[in-house]
Amino acid sequence: MSRRKSSLAIAMAICLGFVLSPAAKTPARTDPEQTGTAVIGIPLRPGLAGSLRSLRLDPLAVWKGALYVRAGEGDRRRLRAAGLASFEPRDIFRAVPRTASEAEGGPNGAYHSYSELETEMTGLQSKYPELAKLTSIGLSLENRRLLALKISDHPGLEEDEAGILLVGGHHAREWISVEVPLQIAASLLEGYDSDPSIRDLVNGSEIWVVPMLNPDGLEYSIWSYRYWRKNRRANADGSFGVDLNRNYDCQWGIDDVGSSPDPESEVFRGPEAFSEPEPKALRDFVLRQGFSAAVFYHSYSQLILYPWSWTSEPAPKRLEFEALAGKLSELIAAVSGRIYAAGQSGEDLYTSNGDAADWVYAGLDVPALTIELPPVDLVNGGFLNAEADIASISGENMPAVQELIRSAIRGYASGSRGHGATVVIRAAGRTPARIR
């Protein structure tokens, strides 16, 4: 067990009297739309985490003395057999009626829905026409635009500069992961005139921000089921959704631990690599554009993760990644005191295959990080961040992203960081991962 895992486990054991492993937040086998599937509460008691892990349930929240999970009929039978009582909560986890007033921020409050994001990004482009250009990298399954904002000193031109890619919202319920890249974009633009270091970074690079890669899932998470994770693909078995962060063609489906062939699973990898339009659009964009660094924002856990995800074996560039992730972690802690532990994805958290960051690293041979935003654990809110925390979580990530941009500019200037499809093709043969 890594130091990170053990400290997490100890913190949770103190709070709850039981231990949840980080892996326990991954698998859920049921879909709330299927008959008999519902969110249920299980009163907290010592030893509960262990029992739940063996039942492969997806812990959603801890609230007022109970742990909430999604469970189908079979899951509930197994819970009863394990001697665990459960109850059906009446008023929480309800779908929101469509009549809720969007003018008042809607049920998502200060968080951005798809249309609110579109308005916000259009506004940034209008306010900073010389620095920002709004575009779309493709369409989601339900035909929403996958919005991208390019930030640079001549956003209309393709300059010979380092490209940096910041992506949020792979997973629908991780609302904070949309806000942070969006706020980073806004802060870079706002700071351009007054902060010379921001001006140098923006002048010397091309920063692409794609805050919401899964708009269909996010809308579903706002209006129907807050804890939705995947996209909204209608699967062959009647269930819904593919896990977008299991759908990239890097060691796709190499085992059933790091992703699942079961369409009902929360980590369903899809029928084939790049079966989903959203990762496919990102693939085409990355191959077209070329990048010197990428960050994928997720939540929760407060981690800065680097490849590989698909294995616990070290990546060829592990030492470089370790130093970079460590530096970013220090910069975040210097702002807020919050610790984002740095480590290898497949070693410190759990293995996952078909992962976006692995695919970018495998193809471009550049740093590709996954940042798991706050909170640190389920007890502190899990996927639910207070609206009041959006600004501080975004703010603490600013110096880290500035350092990443700085290092990408350095790497690009020294010729060690590729920038284009030629590199992709060459890099493909150099690493153990596949790319197409």
Instruction: List interacting residues with ligand 0X9 (CB under 6 A).
Output: 25, 171, 174, 245, 298, 305, 309, 345-346, 349-352, 355, 370, 372
Distance CA 54, CA 81 (A): 13
Which residues are within 8 A (CB) of 231 and not within 5 positions of it... i.e. 6 or more apart? 140, 141, 172, 214, 216, 217, 241, 242, 244, 276, 278
Size of the site for Zn ion (CB under 5 A): 3
- Residue 228 partner contact from Zn ion, ligand 0X9, none using kind-dependent CB cut-offs of 5 to 8 Å: none
Minimum distance, C-beta of residue 53 to ligand 0X9, in the bound complex (Å): 16
The least CB distance from residue 228 to ligand 0X9, in Å, is 12
Q: Please give the structure tokens belonging to residue 246.
A: 């299991």
- Token code pair at residue 409: 């500019």
Write out the two tokens for 176.
């904070």
List residues with catalytic annotation.
Answer: 372
* 25 in contact with Zn ion (CB under 5 A): no
Nearer of residues 152 and 370 to ligand 0X9, judged by Cβ: 370
Q: Return the number of the residue (204 or 215) whose C-beta is nearest ligand 0X9.
A: 215
Q: Which is nearer to ligand 0X9, 113 or 344 (CB)?
A: 344
From ligand 0X9, Zn ion, none, which one binds at residue 221 (CB under 5 to 8 Å depending on kind)? none
396 binds, among Zn ion, ligand 0X9, none (CB under 5 to 8 A by kind): none
- Kind of pairing between the strands at 162-167 and 368-373: unpaired
Q: Of 121 and 369, which has the nearer Cβ to ligand 0X9? A: 369
Q: What is the token pair recorded at 258?
A: 């790091």
Residue 251 interface partner, choices Zn ion, ligand 0X9, none, CB cut-off 5-8 Å depending on type: none
Token pair 């062959």 in the structure block, residue: 236
Q: Which of 171, 173, 226, 233 binds Zn ion (CB under 5 A)?
A: 171
350 is in the binding site of which of Zn ion, ligand 0X9, none (Cβ under 5 to 8 A by kind)? ligand 0X9
Binding-site partner at residue 223 among ligand 0X9, Zn ion, none, CB < 5 to 8 Å by type: none
* Min CB(298)–Zn ion separation in Å: 3
Q: Which CB atom, from 38 or from 281, has the smaller least distance to Zn ion?
A: 281
Letters for 224-263 (x = contact with Zn ion by CB under 5 A, - = none) are ----------------------------------------
Binding mask 174-193 for Zn ion (x = CB under 5 A): x-------------------
Residue closer to ligand 0X9, measured from CB, 152 or 345? 345
Looking at the Cβ atoms of 150 and 269, the one nearer to Zn ion is: 269
CA dihedral 357, 360, 365, 371 (to 10 degrees): -30
Q: Smallest gap, in angstroms, from Cβ of residue 117 to ligand 0X9? A: 19
Least spacing, CB of residue 305 vs Zn ion, in Å: 11
Q: Select the residue interacting with Zn ion from 298, 349, 401, 409 (CB under 5 A).
A: 298
Distances in Å between the Cα of 418 and the Cα atoms of 112, 148, 178, 325, 426 are: 34, 21, 27, 20, 10
Q: How far is the CB of 300 from Zn ion (least distance, A)?
A: 9
Residues that bind Zn ion (CB under 5 A): 171, 174, 298
